[in-house]
Structure 1
Amino acid sequence: WPEQIAYPFNILPPHTNEGDYFGPYNKLLNFLFPPDGPFTVGFLSTKGSQHPIVFIFQILLKNKPVLILELRHPSYLDIPSEREKADEQIRSRMTDTAAACPLDTLYAISVLGTKLCFYSLDTQDSRAEIVPAPILGVSDPAPANRWNLDVMEAAGEAQLRDIVKQIEDRFARAV
């Protein structure tokens, strides 16, 4: 990443909270989806009785979601039940949002600090499953290795840029 994008991530304190990641991810998403383009970076914050604060970014096209990014504390990576909640919540949000997506694929990213897990859903097929498929009947249905890419490492950057390119290409074909 360019220095102006990497710097806010690199200066985060060691014992940070979810809110400390908001600025760096906001800057990153606005870099990937510039304000003068067709996409808008939107933001939601939720706090449920059973879940701590979750920061949710949505990349919108004509006020309709094409990418969801849910941001949670990095410590969740070490807690199987918290990973499971993160996985369930993003799948639920994708299911609830898919019909509104103006493109043929809705993308989502579950973020635990700087660790990324990518999801996609074919919005044209009502029987389509969210990728990656859920793991059923096991004690750890959302294994830590699903968050195997780091936004600050080359492979994580490449995957994120690839998702952005796919969104831009799908938009270009739809116009």
Structure 2
Amino acid sequence: MRLPGYVSEPFYLFDRTTSDESQLYGPVNTLLGYLFPPQEYKVTPQYKGQVYPGSIDFTTLYIVRSARGHTKHPICFIEIKPAGHLGDFATRRAADCQMRERVDHLAAGLIIPKLIGLSAIGSRFAVYEYDEASQELTPPENARNPRIVNDTAPAARWAHDFLDAGVGEAKLLEVVRSTRDMCDAL
């Protein structure tokens, strides 16, 4: 199944060199609205405040919730960062840390067996999966070496691309199908 043009085309229009992640909000809104129809799911953006004192940076997190039974429990989430962050160790590490923190907050009271999160850096994305039964989060966290600078969140983790009509799109649709199947089983 291919994403329709009205869903994929906005991803081609954003500036891939910008540090302004807000350029992705419209395309991601459209994508999530298509993948999780509002009759069955509620997509709620949440804006998180300053990253550190004096910062003017805000992060946006989209949480998908099932509308069946009026549940407020998360079933999926996506965190967005600008495309320029992919080439930098520190910004990838920060994105990885944020995903792990989001799972820490969202896993409490989980009503489905797995919570899936997408970390989007530009149009590329990594899949994070928390298994409720084992309490395991994949991909595993890479430890920071105290003596040398090591890449704790390799760029290869963001191996999939929303714009890849083959593998990337197939991975995205697999994640959505899995999430929707878990909701249907409730």
Instruction: Give the distance between the partners of 2:101 and 2:89, measured in 1 at CA.
Output: 18
SS in 1 for 2:138: coil
Match of 1:123 among 121, 132, 142: 132
SS in 2 for 1:70: strand
Q: Conserved in 2, the CA contact under 8 Å of 1:115 and 1:150?
A: yes
SS in 2 for 1:117: strand
Q: Which runs of 5+ in 1 are unaligned?
A: none
Instruction: Give the distance between the partners of 1:59 and 1:100, measured in 2 at CA.
Output: 15
Instruction: Give the distance between the partners of 1:70 and 1:56, measured in 2 at CA.
Output: 5
**What is the root-mean-square deviation in Å for CA atoms of aligned residues?**
1.5
Q: Conserved in 2, the CA contact under 8 Å of 1:72 and 1:113?
A: yes
Match of 1:164 among 131, 152, 176: 176
Deviation track 1:81-107 (CA, whole Å, cap 9, x = no partner) reads 111011011111101211232211001
Q: Conserved in 2, the CA contact under 8 Å of 1:99 and 1:123?
A: no
User: Displacement of 1:32 after TM fit?
Assistant: 0.2
Aligned to 2:72: 63
Q: Conserved in 1, the CA contact under 8 Å of 2:123 and 2:161?
A: yes
User: Displacement of 1:142 after TM fit?
Assistant: 0.3
Higher helix share: 1
Aligned to 2:152: 141
Q: What's the TM-score once normalised by structure 1's chain length?
A: 0.91
Q: What's the TM-score once normalised by structure 2's chain length?
A: 0.86
SS in 2 for 1:99: coil
Identity of aligned residues (%): 27
Deviation track 1:150-173 (CA, whole Å, cap 9, x = no partner) reads 111021111111011111111122
Equivalent runs, 1:14-33 vs 2, <5 Å: 14-16=16-18, 17-33=20-36
